[in-house]
Amino acid sequence: MDNLRQIKHLHARAGFGLSFEDEKAAGKHSIKKAIAAIFKASENEEPINSVQVNTDYAMLAKGDKDAKKQLMQMQREEEKALNVAWINRMSTTDAVLREKMTLFWHNHFACRSKDSFSAQQLNNIQRTNALGNFRELLLEVSKSPAMLQFLNNQQNKKGHPNENFARELMELFTIGRGNYTEQDVKESARAFTGWGFNKDGEFIFRQPQHDDGEKTFLGKTGNLTGEDIINRLLEQRQTAVFISTKLYKYLVNEIPDPAHVNAMADVFYNGNYEIKPLLEFVFTAPWFYQEQNTGNLVKSPVEFLVGMNRQFFITYQKPEVLLQFQKVLGQVLFYPPNVAGWPGGRNWIDSSSLMFRLKIPSTVLNGGLIDFKGKADPEEEAYIAANRNQQVTVNSKVQAQPDWDRLFKAIPAGTTNQQVAAFLLQTNLSKTLTGELSNAPDIKTAIIQTVSTPEYQLT
Amino acid sequence: MKRRDFLRNTALASGALMIPAFLKPFEAMAMDGITGYKNLVVIQLSGGNDGLNTVVPYGNDIYYQKRNTIAINKPDVITLNEMQGLNPALSSLKEIYDQGWMSIINSVGYPNPDRSHFRSMDIWQTGSESNQFLTTGWIGRYLDANCATCKNPYTAIEVDDSLSLAMKGAKMKGIAVEDPYKLYQTTREPFFKELVHDHTDANLNEDNLGYLYKTMAETYSSASYIQQTSKTYQVTGEYPATPMGNQLKTVSKFINSGLQTRVYYVSLSGFDTHVNQQNQQERVLKIYGDAVTAFIKDLKKTGKLDDTLVMTFSEFGRRVEQNASNGTDHGTANNVMIFGGKLKKAGFYNDAPDLAQLDNGDLKYAVDFRDVYATLLDKWLDVNNSQVLGQSFKGLDFV
């Protein structure tokens, strides 16, 4: 594989794709330098601060009908703003690896929160620790109000344990199914009793609610605390295997290669769960650049949208269009289907979502209309009922503006339609597409055609 | 004259009754492509419909004690038996009920109920346990199961512009069609047409690119089949001019035109009535009831009611006691309504919900929703329910 193809592949996986603008500079680098540059650019860990006030919704909910309606409206506005803020961040930041990994942890620690302040807080925990230490990340996530609320640990009290958090901690966050017993769930739930949060969105340990009796967890006995449980889980090499497997599926191939995953797990486990060295290991491994590991992952809807935004510098007059796209494509940020996250891969693709993917580029890049609505999330039902909304089919202008001038400036003179297409895709050009491209009257048409293909869905 | 032509002409000229008994199997075969399909229509009420104000236990004093401002007054209830009756907004369904085309299953739910919308909807759509996360839906797994008629995406159609998880299997997925003509037009854009046509070689690969092209080609041919088939039939029944009326009218068009589809899926939003429930719920119930009534009458007229079964569900019911805002909060077990021309047990399938023995203020479930699914799978869709539900359920006797 030539150098530019390697660098394109690296950016496709470690970020959201290489842009024409970065091509020139990137082409000169060795792959080693390109990797170093990606890590360097992601040192910036600036949090998102779209939701600035921690509104006490519980107080507002006690108000009259109008107050409640207003409250729901406010919540929706905050949710929308947070969603768009993150999409914009991913679409414009240089710290692409940090955002790509934040998206990974967003799905790994899948969580829903009605309170956008908490949702943002959790998102920032995932961002700050995205390339840091997994133990730190896990601990902070476990203590975040959003997660404590989502997995009912607020109700986990001595004598009345709630096992929800303890179960998901093992099943989904660390060692995975089949590596613990029901008794381990029970014992560890007791260890997390008293973990809660206050009105100000801060973690608190409520000593009186904590069960400090003796527990036996994964073969270890003592007056175990929540921290002890987390440490015990990290002592299991299986946690390193579990995370490595998931990361391999995200960055390399949906079908894990046991030898590769095992090597990753060694790096992760022996390196005390540092995330950055693990990623460096992956990006420098020869197998990462093998033909069978390129152009074969189905982009998630967010990767698809962000990738276009980055390549074409798209500004949306109506940011809600971005939400509508997420909805019809099946991935709304902060709204995972359940605590297991989005299943990904081929699950993204069905007849309708594929047709939307093939149609969206021409609506965004060529001033088209959207005539689809998508489904309401089940959690939107209260709003729909209160506002007597029936979702109706919309026919509205997307009102998005790509910056063609900027793009054309980045494409060297004399570049053929086929070369442009080859750069935009991670797969080989098919005969049909090559033929279609020869007939395209100009580069703009060639670009829109390329982005409207099944090939463009792969990264 | 060829033998088959002869049979067909005979059938047309003289009516099926004239055909000698020994020729019946041929007739059945010839008819199979047109009418042999038993259809299931699933109607999802999103938001958690308040079952107690839908099928009202007016004969139970506890109902009136717990709901002092939002209970349906006795004189207003459309009584069905001495204990339960319908919300007046569902008055059109009375006629359907009296004809024996409706069955109500009370207290349907599942163990360890989840009161969050998205999780409970997830459970109903995937058919999972409450602590289990499945990535495929129950209808999708029906498509996956080894059934002879499930080769095409249009075996299961959702009348909507996007596809619900319920319709997605591991190997097979249904197709979302809100408007057959629109879908057809979308797929016929010249550029897509070129891509599809030239990819007969590449699309056979097992990799993700192959999968994308296969999906594209299937969408392309399904859109054509659905449009060409359904346009031959004009719906004659009258439907209310509501989104749900239109959806069911589309389903009627599909069924009556002989589309080879086994499952249809439609949904209606607006049931999450925490505040000022009565007006809102009655508004959406009326949309639902009037549309279903029109649909059932239409199918009766066209002779398809016996081949059709309709099931209505919601992700949960609501708490027995009303809240302080003249609304109700998220609850647990709920009623499921079944419609069809050939119900084994019309009317009430089981006893009214027990309002005295509650679980922390919520109804206890008496029927697992997967027993309802199992019945539909075993007795209507001709697959063994354990293939789809992961374990064997006994099922019920409503059909």
Q: Looking at residue B147, what is its pLDDT?
A: 65
Q: Does some domain include residue A382?
A: yes
CA A375 to chain centre: 21
**Residue B131: its chain A contacts at CB < 8 A?**
167
Residues 6+ apart with CB under 8 A from B110: B123, B129, B130, B365, B368, B369, B370
- Torsion angle of alpha carbons A96, A97, A103, A108, nearest 10°? 180
- What pLDDT does A380 receive? 81
Q: Which residues of chain B have pLDDT under 50?
A: 1-35, 203
Say if A157 falls within a structural domain. Answer: no
Residue of B160, B212, B276 with shortest CB distance to A375:
B160
Nearest CA in chain A to B315: A378
Compute the distance between CA of residue A427 and CA of residue A424 in angstroms, rounded to an integer.
9
**Residue range A390-447, pLDDT digits in tens:** 554 456 777 889 999 999 999 999 999 999 999 999 999 888 889 989 999 999 999 9
Contact assignment for B153 to A297 by CB distance below 8 Å: no
Residues in chain A closer than 8 A to B135 (CB atoms): 340, 343, 347
Contact B270 A379 (CB under 8 A): no
- Write down the residue that tokens 């958090």 correspond to: A165
Alpha helices in A15-163 (DSSP H): 20-28, 31-41, 57-60, 65-92, 96-108, 116-128, 134-142, 145-150
Whether A385 sits inside 8 A of B272 (CB atoms) is: yes
Q: Which CATH class is domain B37-389?
A: alpha beta
Distances (CA, A) of B393 to A70, B104, B141, B172, B255: 46, 20, 16, 23, 29
Asked whether the beta carbons of B328 and B298 are under 8 A apart, the reply is no
Element (H, E) at B347: strand B347-348
For residue B187, list chain A residues with Cβ-Cβ distance below 8 A. 355
Q: Which residues make Cβ contacts (< 8 Å) with residue B131, sequence separation at least 6?
A: A167, B112
- Look at the block and give the residue holding tokens 């969050």: B116
A389 touches B: beta carbon within 8 Å: yes
Residue A89 lies inside a defined structural domain of this protein: no
Q: Is A376 on the interface with B (CB under 8 A)?
A: yes
Instruction: Give the residue ranges of DSSP H helices in B231-368.
Output: 243-256, 277-302
pLDDT of A283 strictly over 50: yes
List alpha helices for chain B, DSSP H: 3-14, 24-35, 61-66, 93-98, 117-126, 138-144, 180-187, 190-197, 208-230, 243-256, 277-302, 369-379, 385-389
Domain assignment of residue A70, yes or no: no
DSSP classification of residue B215: H
- Which of A71, A253, A352, A429 is the mutation pick for testing B, counting most B CBs within 10 A? A352
| CA-derived radius of gyration, chain A | 23
Please give the Cα distance from B248 to B382 (Å, whole number). Answer: 24
Residues 6 or more apart from B145 whose CB is under 8 A from it?
B383, B384, B387, B388
Contact assignment for A349 to B122 by CB distance below 8 Å: no
Q: Tell me, what's the pLDDT at A67?
A: 79
Angle between helices B180-187 and A351-365 (to 10 degrees): 60
CA pair distance B168, A132, nearest whole angstrom: 37
How many Cβ pairs closer than 8 A exist between chain A and B? Answer: 166
pLDDT at A367: 77
The CA-based dihedral angle spanning residues B121, B338, B171, A172, taken in that order and rounded to the nearest 10 degrees = 20
Q: Which domain holds residue A448?
A: 301-457
Q: Which of A102, A63, A163 is nearest to A302 (CA)?
A: A102
- pLDDT tens digits for range A21-62: 888 777 778 999 999 999 999 999 999 999 988 877 766 667
Rounded CA separation A179/B367 (Å): 33
Q: Give the chain A residue whose CA is nearest to the CA of B281.
A: A385
Inspect the interface and report whether the beta carbons of A328 and B162 lie closer than 8 Å: yes
Asked if the structure places residue A395 within a domain, the reply is yes
* A298/B133 Cβ within 8 A: no
For A54-99, write each residue's pLDDT tens digit. 877 766 667 677 777 788 888 889 999 999 999 999 999 999 999 9
Search chain B and give the residue with CA nearest A439: B191
User: Which strand (E) or helix (H) includes residue A188?
Assistant: helix A182-191
> Which pLDDT score, from 0 to 100, does residue B13 have?
32
Q: What are the C-alpha distances in Å from A410 to residues A30, A275, A308, A403, A405? A: 21, 34, 15, 11, 9
State residue B252 phi and psi, 5-degree precision.
-60, -40
pTM: 0.89
Tokens 């047409």, residue located? B193
Instruction: Please name the residue of chain B whose CA is at the shortest distance from the CA of residue A165.
Output: B131
Do B208 and A297 make contact, defined as CB atoms within 8 angstroms? yes
Please report, for residues A34, A277, B271, the alpha-carbon distance to residue B159 in angstroms, rounded to integers and kept in the order given: 48, 49, 19
Residue A339 lies in a domain: yes
% of chain A beyond a pLDDT of 70: 96
Which tens digit of pLDDT belongs to each residue from A357-377? 999 998 899 877 767 777 788
pLDDT at B201: 56
Inter-chain CB proximity B195 and A433 less than 8 Å: yes
Q: What is the structure's pLDDT at A390? A: 54
pLDDT of residue B302: 97
DSSP B104: E
Beta-carbon separation of A358 and B192 below 8 A: yes
Using the Cβ of A177 and the Cβ atoms of chain B, whether some distance falls under 8 Å is answered with no
Kindly state whether A449 is in contact with chain B, defined as any CB-CB distance less than 8 angstroms. yes
- Per-residue pLDDT band for A385 (boundaries 50, 70, 90) equals confident
Residue limits of CATH 3.40.720 in chain B: 37-389
What would the pLDDT profile of A127-159 be if each residue is shown by its tens digit? 999 999 999 999 999 999 999 999 999 999 999
Any residues with CB less than 8 A from the CB of B126 and at least 6 apart, and which?
B133, B134, B135, B136, B137, B138, B165, B166
Average pLDDT across chain B, whole number: 89
Mean pLDDT of chain A: 92
- CB atoms under 10 Å from CB of A135, counted, come to 18
Closest to A138 (Cα-Cα) out of A18, A247, A17, A226: A226
Structurally, chain A folds into a number of domains equal to: 1
Look at B270 and A338 and tell me if their CB atoms are within 8 Å: no
Per-window interface: A 24-63 vs B, CB < 8 A? none
CB contacts under 8 A, A 110-129 vs B, are: 112
Establish if A379 belongs to a structural domain.
yes
Q: Per the CB < 8 Å rule, is A338 touching B216?
A: no
Compute the C-alpha angle B156/B159/B162, nearest 5°.
90
